[in-house]
Chains A and B, each alone.
Chain A
């Protein structure tokens, strides 16, 4: 198949970016979207031009490195799919495909399609963990956790940290990302001890990192490649309110 790519090029964080158009012939429908970009890059290199920089690693939808804004949707048109899992058979022959980096104030562009997601790290550092030192854990089966709760915690824990939720949100809010972590630990007995402090600290870090507010449009859930539910946002809101009302202010 033949396609036309309108692709974002930006030399570095300070340079002004612009769209560049490339016609690509002989694309196989069996190619993944990123293999199609590899194919484009090989052509560019053969012409002595600079290839398009994009982030990727595992290419099986689990590391969360890749994330492109394709035709106005994070990770493209297919539901519950990362960019690397998306295949060209999802596009039509002759189609024009627009490829952009994540657009969010908290994620500045580094080069071309690569953005800086270190704001996510800062949010995690504010409380995305259970404080247990190596060697001090009790016997694993000493703390039974019902299957339903364990499975629910798992559903929250599948976040790959790609940032699609932020890119999908018109406010560039990171609520789903933060809520997934807060909810995972809030549901597990191991995580209860630090629960109130965690939710307050992580929400504060989220605000400090320039992520926007949540206005409940559910765009994040719709475009999350792992299908994480907005019910975890509700869970986090409850946790947050309870922490503010019932618990002492964290340090």
Chain B
């Protein structure tokens, strides 16, 4: 039986990370030059880690599937990045940021990890500012902040509605600097298809060169996954179409436990589905809820235009249900409230699957110019996609799959259950519990990459200084490459006529219906059954034209979808096993009289870490108990 050791250091909460840093072993500069590290993914976490490790003198190899590291999906984060700077003098502190995240995550995250994320947040902002990230500033030249959902302070730093882009381009610039210096080698247009484990340690990866189709072996002393989340499992999501679970999932199959797979955030403010061929939902930043008011008509099935519905006939349901936080309740709460209104028949638009996000009052009070300054690019984006002008008509929004709190299980050092395999950013599970608060994703990714991993990985590498350069001609590499080859051959051999995307779409629908915003036992069981049937059909009907030794986008998609059947099943299994509601995981069977999530701390205050048990076998559950030493577990109330 595998024992999960979270390696949380002892001592007072505020001292854990400093004490731990002092106890971590170092690698001297002469030895760093001999050690190789693979980083997969070039978002804020991956590019940040790669540049920090390159600066330290390690030999780093970085991989991404796009043509340039600058395109990783961190680029699309809109609203902002949190830090506990307390520049507003509004009572913010590291402890308060920590406490907001623990509460926002519905008490399903590790205290120590969350505290550390809050602690390094200030260094992240300093670093970004120094790299020339053009954050919003006030006229005195100081950094501006705004407030974000689920908190009562203003701690979110931003660059209009494209904070992720600016942070990523800053991080990309630091990565580029290391590439120019030769400490980092960049491998773009590569899909990581498998992890190579030699004598129990992660020693390399198998990639497919997306231009030539060749399989390649890459070796290193340690492997860092920064491969993001698996939100595209729903097909329709706010993620990039290329985002996928395959690197993390195949590492899971090689022995890395996967934690809390059913914890997926459904973001409340996405542009609703407009046509049947749609493959992407575009997010409208949560920051819009600072000034926009969410409502539906009071009368069921009211088909009048929004502007024709008088004030007293509008139901501002978030303000009604949650007077303390109003439109700024956390995402899971806002999403379920929207679904509740639409399911009850009050939804707007042709499909009835959307609610209004209205800026009328904000424009009247602050003027159009002020609103344009804050959200101009988002309004433009909305108009381009929908053809409707949000300055005049309210936006229509609906929840969409967005962020995965679940991911590879890691200890306090961000190492998975495979020695030498680290997971950072969204690809791990550690900091957001069962629900993530807005603007904490950029914060966690950058913290992991720039300020945490570089310390913890040295403790692991201190034992590797005598290990010579890892060779790729050992049997483990051959075997891993063979397995990948067989996966590719199997897909190419099907010879059907249905696209991988069509299967992905059907899989997404199953998961959205049965393992989405609201789950129940019967539905989850049915979902698993339907996934099995669909998977069987996939292996008979999927069509991948062309050859595999060539640029073949259909093959890339089919490989990802093949993995997603397995991911989807584990999500359902996890959701079924967790017989409580918490955060984004809402089991219909467990709710209060007013429809709020009801946790069961006595039975479920643990991290569910799943072990792969072989094809067709149900995964094995390992539990890491969550001990709350510093905060008191309470019902999460935003009323």
Which of B129, B139, B240 has the most chain A CB atoms inside 10 A of its CB?
B129
Answer whether residue A74 sits at the interface, using C-beta atoms and an 8 A cutoff: no
Complex CA gap A61/B282 in Å reads: 10
Q: A56–B172 Cα gap in the complex (Å)?
A: 19
Give chain A nearest CB distance to B387 CB in angstroms. 6
Give the secondary structure class of A's interface. Answer: loop
Interface presence of B475 (CB below 8 A) = no
In angstroms, Cα B274 to Cα A160, docked, is 26
Q: Which of chain B's residues have a CB closer than 8 A to the CB of A246?
A: none
Given known A-B contacts A57-B240, A110-B211, A141-B142, A87 and B387 have beta carbons under 8 A apart:
yes
Contact-size category for A: 35 or more
Segment 148-203 of B: residues with Cβ below 8 Å from A: 159-160, 162, 165-166, 169, 172-174, 176-177, 179-180, 186, 188
Contact B165 A129 (CB under 8 A): no
Interface segment out of the listed B130-138, B339-347, B519-527, B596-604: B130-138
**Count, A-B residue pairs, CB within 8 A:** 220
| Residues of A contacting B166 in the complex (Cβ-Cβ under 8 angstroms) | 154, 157
Task: Determine if B385 and A85 form an interchain contact, defined as CB atoms under 8 angstroms apart.
Answer: yes
For A39, the chain B residues whose CB sits under 8 A away are: 277
Residues of B in contact, count (CB < 8 Å): 81
| A173 at the binding interface (Cβ < 8 Å) | no
B75 touching A63, Cβ below 8 Å: yes
Give a binary string over B367-383; 1 marks a CB under 8 Å from any A CB, 0 the rest.
00000000000001100
From 99 to 155 in chain A, residues with beta carbon under 8 angstroms from any chain B beta carbon are 110-111, 114, 116-118, 120-121, 124-126, 128-141, 143-147, 150-151, 153-154
List residues of A (41-94) whose CB comes within 8 Å of B's CBs.
41-42, 44-46, 48-51, 53, 55-65, 78, 80-81, 85, 87, 89
Contact A57 B241 (CB under 8 A): yes
Please give, as numbers and ranges, the residues of chain B lying within 8 Å of A128 by CB-CB distance: 173, 176
CB < 8 Å: which of A12, A87, A132 contacts B131? A132
Tell me how far the C-beta of B65 lies from the nearest C-beta in chain A, rounded to whole angstroms: 9
Is residue A208 contacting chain B, with contact meaning CB distance below 8 A?
A: no
| A28 nearest CB across to chain B (Å) | 5
| CB–CB B52/A62 < 8 A | no
In contact, A140 and B139 (Cβ under 8 angstroms): no
Across the interface, name the chain B residue whose C-beta is closest to A140.
B129
Q: A35-B279, A38-B277, A59-B240 are in contact. Are A190 and B501 (CB under 8 A)?
A: no
For B157, the closest partner residue in chain A by CB is A140
Partner of B554, one of A45, A57, A134, A139: A45
- Cβ-based interface call for A232 (8 A): no
Q: Is A188's CB under 8 angstroms from B67's CB?
A: no
The residues of A that contact B162 with a CB separation of less than 8 Å are 62, 158
Question: Is the beta-carbon distance between B73 and A58 smaller than 8 angstroms?
Answer: yes
Instruction: Report the bound CA distance from A58 to B242 in whole Å.
Output: 8
Q: Which of B48, B282, B454, B546 contacts A60 (CB 8 A)?
A: B282
Interface residues of B in 426-480 (CB under 8 A from A): 450-451, 454
User: Given A85-B385, A150-B136 in contact, is the A118-B67 Cβ separation under 8 Å?
Assistant: yes
Q: Taking A35-B277, A130-B173 as given, write out 7 further A-B residue pairs in contact, using a Cβ cutoff of 8 Å, ordered by the A residue number.
A: A35-B275, A36-B277, A51-B545, A136-B130, A141-B85, A157-B169, A160-B165
Residues of chain B at the chain A interface (Cβ within 8 Å): 48, 51-52, 55, 66-68, 70-71, 73, 75-76, 85, 87, 123, 125-132, 134-143, 159-160, 162, 165-166, 169, 172-174, 176-177, 179-180, 186, 188, 211, 240-242, 274-280, 282-283, 380-381, 384-385, 387, 450-451, 454, 497-499, 501-502, 543, 545-546, 550-551, 553-554
Measured CB to CB, the residues of A under 8 A from B are 12, 28, 30-32, 35-36, 38-39, 41-42, 44-46, 48-51, 53, 55-65, 78, 80-81, 85, 87, 89, 110-111, 114, 116-118, 120-121, 124-126, 128-141, 143-147, 150-151, 153-154, 157-158, 160-161, 184-185, 188, 190-191
